[in-house]
Chain A
Amino acid sequence: MTTPKGTRSLYREFLIEEYVVEQEPFYVPVADEVGLFEAAYAQKIPVLLKGPTGCGKTRFIEYMAWRLGRPLTTVRPKEKGPSAPQNGRGVPLVTVACHEDLTASDLVGRYLLEGEETRWIDGPLTRAVKVGAICYLDEIVEARKDTTVLIHPLTDHRRFLPIEKRGHILQAADGFLLCISYNPGYQSAMKDLKHSTRQRFVSIEFNYPNRDVEAQVVQHESGVSPAIAETLARLGEKVRNLKDHGLQEGASTRLLIYAGKLISQGITPRRACQIAIVWAVTDDHEVQRSLEEVVASIFE
């Protein structure tokens, strides 16, 4: 997320559907993913983003929400909801992190008690459907199976969301697009995505960017010198070599950025890499030791 400007440290509160990415998120396209997503959005085809953790899936979605919003501001429909997006920039982005206890009502909505009465409040998915936002379900496979089935009617030609408890059916607004992300690497077979679900999406595969791009990203995000950014990217490459050989998952770009941020705060590179990378990717002492040796080789 973009940090608030200036020295302001007060928090800002948005209604879920009103959150719009205002400033251009930093994103370096690796291939044709931007064009693909634009095409899918135009044709209202749901998108599945595949890729290891921390490789930039969420950033990509933010970037796309921002990018798609710009030329479309005037076109955006304002049919429903008390607070349709203002003529600000960007398509509203509703992000839901999925977890194993995420229930249908967490997404669709539930009754709350208010005084002597119950009041219905919309869940994030419902809100996104109403305002025509991009709804991004992060780590979809973590959600329970009955939850994932819920999104089926939204993802085909019908584009509606049944709200059983109220007896409603909600037709999605025009700008609505469902995006899900999925990390095929470390889920157990139990948690694989059902085919009936996955075949409702087009998939864009992500991987860690190559060394140069990654160095560019690290440098921009963390503010370290180009040399250190390059070295961090190289370290990332080395650590990723160990995927499936001691590590379940390689060091993400995000971790490299963390390390970079610590370094630019004056932490020594070795220490920064230790806490941001080595200890973050594994608990195994032997593997830690190996990685520390790699770090010690790479950084002075």
Chain B
Amino acid sequence: MNPRLRELEQELRKFPASVVDEFRRAAEVAQVHLPDTDLLSWAQQGVDMAHQTARAWEAASAYFRSSPQVLGHLSPSQLLEWGRCGSSLCGDSPALAVAFFQDSPAMAPHVQPHLMAKWANLGRAFYRGTWKSCALATKFFEVSSGLLGQMRYEEVEEFAGLARALSQKSFDLATESLLQGQQVLPKLGGHRLPFLKLVTSLVDTSWREVKECFDVVPKVLAKVHTQHRDRLFSLATLLAPHAKGSISLFLSETATALGKADAASQGLLLAMAEQLVPIGPEAAGPFLLNSPAILGRISLQQLPQWFQTGVSLLQERQEGGLAYFRLESATSEQVLESLSSAVELDRVKEIMRLYCRALAGAQTDIAPTTELVSKNIGWVSERRATTEGTTVYLPPQVERYGSKEANFALLKVLATHQAAHIEFGSFGFSLEAPARRFRDLRFQREQQMRTQAGKRSETRPPDGDSPGLGATVPPNGQDGISGAPTPMGRFFDLFDNRRLALDIFTAVEDGRLDYQVQQAYLGLAPAYRRIQQDALVARPPLEGLPAQQAMVEFLVRLSLQQAKDLQHPEPFRREARAVARVARRVFHPQAMVEDSAEATLRIYDIIATLPNTPVEEEESGKEEERDGAPSDEQLDQWLQQFLGSRAGASAAQEGHPYESPPPVEYRGDFKPELAQLLSLLRQQQEQQRQQGPETARQVSPESLQQVLANTAELELDAEAGQLNHDLAAFAQNLMRETGATSASVQGQGQGPFLHMQEPQGGALEAKEPLCFVYNEWDFRAVDYKPRWCVVREKAMAEGEAQFFADTLRSYSTLTQQIRRQFEMLMPEAFRKIKHLPDGEEFDLDAVVEAINDKWCGVSPSEKLYWRRNKVARDVAVVFLMDMSASTAEAIDESRRRSDDWAPPDDPVEYMNWLRSRRGQGINRNHKRIIDLEKESTVLLIQALETIGDTYGIYGFSGYGRENVEFYVIKDIEESFSERIKRRIDKITPLHATRMGPAIRHATFKLARQDARTKLLLLISDGRPQDRGYSREGVEKEYAVHDTKMALTEARHQNITPFCLTVDRAGHDYLKTMCQDMGYEVLGDIHALPTRLPTLYRKLTF
């Protein structure tokens, strides 16, 4: 060893032994690689380093330890340079240097040597003299040394910049982001720089989000196509300043949304979003977010058109454009609707409802299939239309064809076919009713089987049955024959293979309906045939099907009215002909559902005896229609012979188990047994209601379950445990479906208040009875938010009638006065008016006078007639009372300005706030505003009854847009009774004041009235307000403008609105709300009972 080296080693002995050890080990390697001079400089550098500060020996130790590993990658001068970097770091903090040296070996192979120094500086930049910054720097060296192997140096530099900037805000976050980067960045590949730029841009404004952005990366990677990731990140960067701390949410949601589109569409969507950035950056997010919904309705080609409309709207007015892209504007809906070729049931529901009613009778209703499926009573397909005998269920959306017309035609065909089930009596099947086209065999067959079953229970012969018209016996004979509660069930009990029988029956019955429909509805027939053709094309090939299935398939095709070129399985030419012959008898105007059943019996006999093995021959023959119309007797004789002739071929049990052919799409689901079961249960329920619970015979849940287990109409997964569970659930749901309907009709007024989850936005649906959906006006967007509020109409609970009487007593003078005033109005209506130029009859006095005048040579008056005053009162009026919590305020208290309090946005807080407000007035004996409202109502009713006007009294309150409560105190069509007196008693302060929807609903009620004068009187105690009844939670004007719009709408319907408020501060907003409509601010609330009737009198004359 070089003596100089030895000296240096001696020098190192001052330090802990490990330093010397490291030195020795390193020197051995270094000697080999380094020339002497460099070797000495290298060693000297280490020793100098160790001397620098108290703990600098640690750095030196690390220096020596790492040297051998980096040697190979650095030239001697670079090695020294490296050492110098380290020792200068050591000047700052030995720990820093240690980290630097320790992590160098990991990165040395991957970077150009000259970057070493830069890297050291990157690390050093983290150091700000504190131990935290030191720890961070250390972490950086550790992380980046690994990363450098996988990413370019510039990227690491960017990353370092990010971490450093973050460290200004929080060391913990910076450390964490380093760790996250270590995980995430390698996977990002080429998209690192855009991503890092995005994240860096966040540091200044919303640094807390950095972590979430890192979290979201894997999702982006999974959902967004490689070529679009950069764009997404740069887009996010552009949006970051506008996103107000939700950029990670944006990334996440957008990734989900984009994930639903293919690569090309992603590109288009992103390009569009980029276009939005300069015009209205806030719109880009919602646009991308809603893109799956939009593309669900219109095609990619149509998208630009919709988009352009939005862009021009956005350029015109930010809010309008925003609402457009949020899909919260009526314009947006309209444009979508006009572009879309899909027909949505929602939009044509009313038309289809009336259409089906016209076809199938007034009891028929219509609903989306989703509703039926959600009931879980046996129907599972949301795509296929169906009916259970009273309601026609149609798919929520039809978009098979390219044009709206074609899709609507399809929907019409779907509806017509389902309505035909009702119109042509599919569910009216009875075993006893005679068939018109066949000799009846059903009943006889059932008798036969019953006796057989009787015998069998004694002897139990094996399950081999003679073919022919004598049918087979179901395996569990007794249950099957006597157990089924419905005729349909009893009918299917006649068959061994219920599924086969159901398939045959379905094909024949659907075929019959198709025939009937095309006979009865000539106008629809072309469209119907076209759709039949389409269905025919979609049928699976006959080749290769087992014989039974092939025959059923043949039957299905036959039922699709394929008269020519009908393929049939060749080896069974004769059988096919027989099937066709039977089936065609059903396609006749006279045929009934019983004929379908008879045909099923016969066809089943033919098919069930075929071996269910694949048909060998490749080619299938053609079946030609050639027979005339044989009589019933002839047909049956012929069949008898036919079946007898092939008695040898009874190999029924061979081959594959039978499987159903795919359903014919447009015919939907046909479940005759379930439908009959449902109507039976309903009937029983009805009986029970009328005659008390004891008298009616009930189907027990167990027997119901048994029936369900037997029927072939349920598509169940055949796992045994699951099966039983499902059946029990079905049975229960069925019971509930038929039983609970009556109990739930009477919606109770002020029941327990259900806290509803606030929907995220978007249109609402009226799912329950007595719910109504209304638009809401967004004055910033200058457009309606479509289907925004749900108004729930409830009958007011009934209290004591005493209140009514008490009020009349305490206001007895006033009552008298009012009554007199109103009675005085009455005669005016019927007064005889004399001296008219035209009228009902001569006024003889005037005539005599005129004749006298004439005799006297005076020109006589022409006004010789009299007429009754035809201006009869014809007034309908609706009183709409504010039942908001604020009406609980005692009147005498110094009234706070209602503007002082704004409702908190958080639902829970909001409820507390409401409760406290309501509570404020309750414990006092003072009169509350609501009390005066109630008293005024009483007096008004008194007056109105005198004068005989049509009137309705309603209260409104609510909580949020999905829950606007509309209480009926007296419905406009209801006549005055004790019940109404009792309801008035129950008027109490409730929740908030969302006036718009309440006014719209009142308008809706008034508009149906046939009166010359219609008046809407709104009585409130303050400005409209509700949770979310504002724009972004702040602008009170939003509510005012919506209310104003609702009032304007009322005016368009020829209704005169009038607002009466007891809020003294009312002038400021009523001026806006009622601009050119009538309003009055009542200075003294006590004047309300006096004022209201007077006001009413003035308004209606």
Contacts and interface: CB of A to CB of B under 8 A. Distances in A.
Interface of A: 101, 103, 105, 110-111, 113, 116, 118, 188-189, 231, 234, 238-239, 241-246, 270, 286-287, 289-291, 293-300
Contacts of A297: 355, 359, 412, 416, 521, 523-524
Contacts of B854: 116
A280 to B, nearest CB: 15
A25 to B, nearest CB: 31
B847 A290 contact: no
Interface in B345-375: 350-355, 357-362
Contacts of B353: 290
B354 A287 contact: yes
Given A241-B361, A293-B412, A298 B523 contact: yes
Given A189-B975, A290-B358, 15 more contacts: A101-B840, A110-B841, A111-B842, A118-B847, A244-B362, A286-B351, A290-B353, A296-B523, A297-B412, A297-B523, A298-B521, A298-B522, A298-B523, A299-B523, A300-B522
Contact of A242 (B354, B525, B847): B354
B412 A298 contact: no
Given A234-B520, A244-B362, A298-B522, A293 B847 contact: no
Interface residues of B, number: 30
Contacts of A118: 842, 844, 847
Given A289-B351, A295-B523, A300-B522, A243 B358 contact: no
B851 interface: yes
B522 A294 contact: no
Contact of A113 (B352, B355, B847, B870): B847
A242 B362 contact: yes
B362 A241 contact: yes
A283 to B, nearest CB: 12
A150 to B, nearest CB: 15
Contacts of B521: 297-298
Contacts of B354: 242, 245-246, 286-287, 290-291
Q: Which 7 A-B pairs have the closest CB atoms?
A: A290-B354, A297-B524, A297-B521, A238-B358, A300-B522, A290-B351, A299-B523
A107 B851 CA distance: 27
A105 to B, nearest CB: 6
Contacts of A287: 354
Nearest to A110: B841
B523 A290 contact: no
Q: Max chain A CB contacts within 10 Å: which of B360, B840, B975? A: B840
A239 B361 CA distance: 9
Interface string B844-858: 100100010010000
A73 B524 CA distance: 55
9 contacts: A101-B870, A113-B842, A116-B851, A118-B844, A245-B354, A245-B362, A290-B352, A291-B354, A296-B523
A245 B357 contact: yes
Contact of A294 (B355, B840, B870): B355
Nearest to A231: B522
B229 to A, nearest CB: 49
B358 A242 contact: yes
Given A286-B354, A289-B351, A296 B520 contact: no
A300 B358 contact: no
Contacts of B351: 286, 289-290, 293
A241 B841 contact: no
Contacts of A231: 522
Nearest to B360: A241
Contacts, number: 82
A4 to B, nearest CB: 34
Contacts of A189: 975
A231 B355 CA distance: 17
B514 to A, nearest CB: 14
The residue among B523, B841, B847 with the most chain A CB atoms within 10 A of its own CB is B523
Interface in B817-864: 840-842, 844, 847, 851, 854
| Best-buried of B352, B353, B354, B522 by chain A (most CB within 10 Å) | B354
A249 to B, nearest CB: 14
A213 B232 CA distance: 73
A140 B525 CA distance: 45
A212 to B, nearest CB: 14
A188 B358 CA distance: 25
A243 B523 contact: no
B522 A299 contact: yes
Contacts of B355: 290, 293-294, 297
B130 to A, nearest CB: 74
B524 A296 contact: yes
A27 B353 CA distance: 36
A239 B358 contact: yes
Nearest to B361: A241
Contacts of A296: 523-524
A294 B359 contact: yes
Scoring A116, A188, A291, A296 by chain B CB atoms within 10 A of each residue's CB, the highest score goes to A296
A154 B355 CA distance: 48
A161 B523 CA distance: 57
A34 B847 CA distance: 49
A197 B358 CA distance: 37
Given A242-B362, A243-B362, A105 B520 contact: no
Contacts of B524: 296-298
A243 B412 CA distance: 21
Contacts of B1010: 188
A105 B357 contact: no
Nearest to A144: B868
Contacts of A246: 354, 357
Contacts of B844: 111, 118
Nearest to A189: B975
A287 B358 CA distance: 11
A110 B352 CA distance: 55
A238 B359 contact: yes
Contacts of A291: 354, 358
Nearest to B348: A289
A294 B359 CA distance: 8
A286 to B, nearest CB: 5
Interface in B511-561: 520-525
A290 B842 contact: no
B362 A300 contact: no
B217 to A, nearest CB: 51
Contacts of B840: 101, 103, 105
B141 to A, nearest CB: 74
Given A245-B357, A296-B524, A297-B523, A290 B350 contact: yes
Contact of A241 (B358, B520, B523, B842): B358
A111 B520 CA distance: 60
A234 B1010 CA distance: 32
Contacts of A238: 358-359
A193 B350 CA distance: 35
A245 B352 CA distance: 13
Interface string B21-63: 0000000000000000000000000000000000000000000
A74 B893 CA distance: 92
B539 to A, nearest CB: 26
Contacts of B842: 110-111, 113, 118
Contacts of A270: 523
B1068 to A, nearest CB: 40
A116 to B, nearest CB: 6
A298 B520 contact: yes
Interface in B717-767: none
A113 B865 CA distance: 12
Contacts of A110: 841-842
B554 to A, nearest CB: 30
A289 B523 CA distance: 15
B674 to A, nearest CB: 25
A64 B619 CA distance: 72
A243 B354 CA distance: 10
A18 to B, nearest CB: 25
Residue among A103, A294, A298 facing the most chain B CB atoms (10 A cut-off): A294
